Amino acid sequence: MKRRDFLKTAGIGAAAAAAGTAALAAPAIAQDVIKWRMVTAWPKNLPGPGVAAQMLADRITALSGGRLQVELFGAGEIVPGPGVFDAVSEGTAEIYHAVPAYWGSKSKGILLFGSQPLGLTAMEQIGWMQQGGGQALYDEMYGRFGLKPFLCGNSGPQWFGWFRNEIKSLDDLKGLKYRTTGLNSEVCAKLGMAVEAMSGPAMFQALQSGALDAGEFIGPWSDSALGLQQVAKNYYAPGVGEPSSAEECAINIKAWEALPEDLKLAVTYAAQSLYNPVLTEYNTKHAMALRELKDKHGVTVHKLPDEIVVAMGNAMGEVIGELRDNSDELVKRITESFLAYRSLMVEYMPYADAGQMNARGLTYNYG
């Protein structure tokens, strides 16, 4: 899909959104068919999260045998992308698709469920949720807002992003206007960057105009679909600010509780069963898109200097300290649970995934 199509989708007027809200205000239940509206933080079919959102809507409908039909509305069609959390919490729609990194204004504890600078990989993240007690804490936190949450995908390792000019040291970051989200925003601010939050399409426009010096969105597949390679040519990895970024859906708790048990299971399995397909699609298509960015668009891929990685790790240590001292007892419990699972993985992974990657990186005749 062309970049201008995403910009057009993302910019649907407020009047149309208001009309859509009025027309769709009442849930439709007829002939034992329940109809849900899914609002998303993305333009429809944006490669990566927009595609994943449609997959989820389709899978819930299919697994329910058509008894629970989910219709997807892109950012701006009913509410703007940043408004989907409140829209579902308040009952304007029944379900949303977004990322936890967008909801730090609700609670700092929410941010740990999405991505954590120098934190968990995609498989470790779902491991924490399913094996380390994370899901119970996730339910408790979102329950405060009248929501039932599920992780339903992951982008895998994100990139540090697109820079108009090359960066060689920590000093080069100071004062840079940089788009990012979640806990990475707090880390980058501690490094002296001027952090701004905005949508992917808005990031393109800001880089083009010079309002931004740099920014990260997701990775090669999604980023190239937005045309970011047209406005910046220096692309930096690894994105240690987001070693993975979980995608989530959250359901209005009244809509959830009104479902019979078999439809609750259909929704649960739809979300859980998409985690790996979404992750593997991202990894595969990121790899394909990166080849094209380098070979056809003149993008230069850079390794983030170790000095910056270490500084980010130290800054995240300060953020962790602030989370541990948070006045909210639940935020403290979420933080300690995350740290305990991260510690377990840090101990094990040098022998497992990291060990395999290091072995694969040696030079030998493989074919």
Exposed/middle/buried for 105, CB within 10 Å: 0-12, 13-18, 19+? Answer: exposed
Residue 158 labeled ligand binder: yes
Residue 166 labeled ligand binder: no
Q: Report the C-alpha gap between 91 and 107 in whole angstroms.
A: 20
Q: Report the C-alpha gap between 109 and 100 in whole angstroms.
A: 10
* Peptide linkage before 220 cis (omega within 30 of 0): no
Q: Report the C-alpha gap between 318 and 232 in whole angstroms.
A: 31
Residue 242 labeled ligand binder: yes
CB 178 within 8 A of CB 188: yes
Residue 130 labeled ligand binder: no
Enumerate residues 6+ apart whose C-beta is below 8 A from 198. 179, 206
Q: Report the C-alpha gap between 75 and 121 in whole angstroms.
A: 28
CB 137 within 8 A of CB 328: no
Q: Residue ranges for the binding site for substrate?
A: 158, 179, 216, 242
Q: Residue ranges for the binding site for Na(+)?
A: 217
Q: Residue ranges for the binding site?
A: 158, 179, 216-217, 242
